[in-house]
Amino acid sequence: MEAIIIDGKIVAEQLNARSAERVKKLMQRGIVPGLTAVLVGDNPASASYVRSKKKAAAAIGINSNVIELPENTAQGELDDIIDTLNADDRVHGYIVQLPLPSQLNVEKTIQRILPAKDADCFHPENVGLMTLGRPRFLPATPAGIIELLRAYNIQTSGAEVVILGRSDIVGRPLSIMLAQKAEMGNATVTVCHTRTKDWTRHTKNADILVSAVGRANTVTADMVKPGATVIDVGMNRIEDPTAKKGYRLVGDVDFAGVSQVAGAITPVPGGVGLMTVAMLLANTVTAAELTLAPSGILS
């Protein structure tokens, strides 16, 4: 039996519909949520991603803008842009699109972002709040993954979860969120990384397997427990002369093989990526709502 396809398009549309209702309520109080993306350089993948965010934001009533800066932008110039966004009341949330050119310091850039406008949830203050279980925002990709599991009634409580990859953006925060004492938590989580000796020994025990390593065909059918849920975070470009653009996008998972073993699986494209954008918009709406909360954290 082939796996159930976890459709990120459907779940993202549902989440965006809920965000749109929240935007309407804010507009009734004279607040138009504003999202800005700062794009440095001409990375094609980053530019495409930012365009998709702008389009999705406009569709639910968020005022969205993109600030494009040249590849050779100096740290001081970027800092000035961030300071301007921090002070602009029309901007409720913003992101600095990663990766950045090598002359720019990612850590210092993230720390300069005002935590209350940190739509990506990268600032150490927001990461700390998330870790303590009382988040201001949630990191977009991990939160999107959890929303997919919720939408398809995939139980995390008591589940064995294996995450491949320990990045600050996906693997590490997702491991914390799934292990927390929460409705979509209470899992036993194992994180595999470059120093893990035998990934397969862990993955074959996983009820839920998440791959976020950024390498095509990392996860094969022999690594997956029959009936497991497989979440593919990867987005890899591989050459394909039969494709119109000369390439196609694939995930970390050998979809054709793994879908014959897994109980449920996300496709690439059409899975986690759409949820990342939807969660970013939800965070932006939350940032706008926070302007009405004296404490700066919604109860």
248 confidence band (pLDDT: 50, 70, 90) = confident
Specify whether 97 is catalytic: yes
Q: Which of 53, 117, 118, 207 is catalytic?
A: 53
Check 14, 24, 88, 97 and give the catalytic one: 97
Q: Would you tell me how many other CB atoms lie within 10 Å of the CB of residue 167? A: 16
2 in Cβ contact with 259 (< 8 Å): yes
- State the fold for domain 140-272: Rossmann fold (3.40.50)
Please give the single-letter amino acid code of residue 164.
Answer: L
Q: Give 74-107 pLDDT, tens digit per residue.
A: 999 999 999 999 999 999 999 999 999 999 999 9
**Do 81 and 100 contact (CB within 8 A), yes or no?**
no
Residue 295 pLDDT: 53
- Looking at the domain covering 30-115, what would its CATH class be? alpha beta
pLDDT of residue 240: 79
Comparing CA positions, the residue from 225, 289, 234, 245 lying closest to residue 92 is: 289
pLDDT at 64 over 60: yes
Task: Dump pLDDT digits (tens) for 173-229.
Answer: 999 999 999 999 999 999 999 999 999 999 999 999 999 999 999 999 999 999 999
Mean per-residue pLDDT for 280-296? 87
Asked if the model's pLDDT at residue 297 lies above 80, the reply is no
Residue pointed to by tokens 């138009």: 32
Please give the mean pLDDT across all residues of the chain: 94
120 flagged as catalytic: yes
Annotated catalytic residue 53: yes
**pTM recorded for the entire structure:** 0.93
* pLDDT of 226: 97
Which entry of 117, 118, 120, 252 is annotated as an active-site residue?
A: 120
* Residue pLDDT, tens place only, 112-164: 999 999 999 999 999 999 999 999 999 999 999 999 999 999 999 999 999 99
Domains 30-115 and 140-272 share a fold: yes
What residue spans define the domains of the chain?
30-115, 140-272
Q: Kindly give, in sequence order, each residue whose CB lies less than 8 Å from that of residue 220, ignoring residues fewer than 6 positions away.
A: 254, 257, 258
SS3 for the chain, per residue? CCCEECCHHHHHHHHHHHHHHHHHHHHCCCCCCEEEEEEECCCHHHHHHHHHHHHHHHHCCCEEEEEEECCCCCHHHHHHHHHHHHHCCCCCEEEECCCCCCCCCHHHHHHHCCHHHECCCCCHHHHHHHHCCCCCCCCHHHHHHHHHHHHCCCCCCCCEEEEECCCCCCHHHHHHHHHCCCCCCCCEEEEECCCCCCHHHHHCCCCEEEECCCCCCCECHHHCCCCCEEEECCCEEEECCCCCCCEEEECCECHHHHCCCCCEECCCCCCHHHHHHHHHHHHHHHHHHHCCCCCCCCC
Provide CB contacts within 8 A for 245, sequence distance 6+: none
